[in-house]
Amino acid sequence: MKRPIIISGPCSAETEEQTIITCKKLAETQKVNILRAGIWKPRTSPESFEGVGELGLIWLETVKRITGLPIAVEVANAEHAHKALSYGVDYVWIGARTTVNPFNVKEIATALKGSQVKVLIKNPINPDLSLWIGAIERIAHTRGIENIWLVHRGFSACGYSEYRNVPLWHLIFDIRRQFPEIKMICDPSHICGNRERLFKISQTAADLNYDGLMIESHICPDAAWSDANQQITPDELHRLLDSIKWRDAKNENSIFEYSLSKFRSEIDQIDSDLFELLSRRMKLAEEIGRIKLTCNVSIYQEQRWKNIVERIISRAKRLNLSEAFIRSILDAVHSESINRQNEVMNNI
């Protein structure tokens, strides 16, 4: 049975009492391997609580002594990194707002040189994998840093989203393909932004074979000075962790393989048919482009597109497909269709 890495602790260390009691209770669950607390908080608004600073490191030293568990804090610049090392912090994490900034990542890497500290790199706030990869490379090329883990905390969405930060799971598959040896931790707290969906996202991470979870916990979540909506008590965390089912990465059993193979060959056939059909559809889009060119009519025909979307969406229930899924497929088809007409009409 897989033993996931569980990192938990308050979003922010607020007072000595809150930090120590929360962390003690988390240690008592015997499910948490690493205790976290933010002491320098990168807040969007300057009016928000920006952390207790170095004082929090003194509290965390006590926490480490009492619980025997390793400690993690966020560092956003060289000064933070030096201070964290001087208080014996075991893990530092680079937050989403810092991963986007190569200057900060570089100065943190230089400050951590030769230290043997373990570094967690959160995904950047925007869905730009090259920034994440740049940060990984800057840290990985630093002498003395051998242990790098990645933390998936979701990405800023533009417009309405049910999440505080949309997960965009497919980007994580991409990054794991590129760095298969690096552990991937999911941070459901910052993806969800509330308590209600923590289980769903945690279970999805377990189903996708993540190596662990980072979940914020506070002794009295509603009174938290930062991220109050998404924190849960240590007892709630204990129950949440008990209810998550971790899966095996593989099963070599031939019955398992045999039971899948029948469905997999059917899926392979459907995928081939789907793409044959899409190819035919794009050829038709090109024909339409030629006619529009002759008649000098614009590519985008709002009413026609509206009709297509409405017609397919009205069949969503019968097809047992969600409206969001249908819309995302249609958007991809429409964009490609526009590209193909553009090529024909503008001789690109």
| CA separation for the pair 132, 202 (Å, rounded) | 22
Which of 51-59, 77-85, 95-103, 246-254 is the region at the interface with ligand PEP (rule: CB under 6 A)?
A: 95-103
Sole binder of Mn ion in the list 6, 7, 11, 75 (CB under 5 A): 11
Sole binder of ligand PEP in the list 4, 38, 56, 124 (CB under 6 A): 38
Q: Which residues in the 196-255 window bind Mn ion by CB under 5 A?
A: 227
Q: What is the CA radius of gyration of the chain?
A: 24
Nearer to ligand PEP, 43 or 106 (CB): 43
Report whether 10 contacts 22 (CB < 8 A): yes
b/e burial code for range 180-206 (CB count within 10 A of at least 16 → b): eebbbbbbbbbbbbebebbeebbbbbb
Question: E strands, 153-192, where?
Answer: 183-186
What binding mask, one character per residue, do residues 76-115 give for Mn ion by CB under 5 A, x or -?
Answer: ----------------------------------------
Q: Which residues in the 22-81 window bind Mn ion by CB under 5 A?
A: none
| CA separation for the pair 227, 74 (Å, rounded) | 15
Nearer to ligand PEP, 227 or 344 (CB): 227
Report the partner that residue 107 touches, choosing among Mn ion, ligand PEP, none (CB closer than 5 to 8 A by kind).
none
Question: Cα–Cα–Cα angle for 205, 208, 210, nearest 5°?
Answer: 60
Report whether 210 contacts 5 (CB < 8 A): no
Provide φ and ψ at 137, rounded to 5°.
Answer: -65, -40
- 3-state SS assignment for residue 312: helix
Report the partner that residue 134 touches, choosing among Mn ion, ligand PEP, none (CB closer than 5 to 8 A by kind).
none
Nearer to ligand PEP, 97 or 183 (CB): 97
- What is the smallest separation between the CB atom of 300 and ligand PEP, expressed in angstroms? 38
Which residues contribute to the site for Mn ion (CB under 5 A)?
11, 227
Which residues contribute to the site for ligand PEP (CB under 6 A)?
11, 38, 42, 95-97, 122, 153, 190
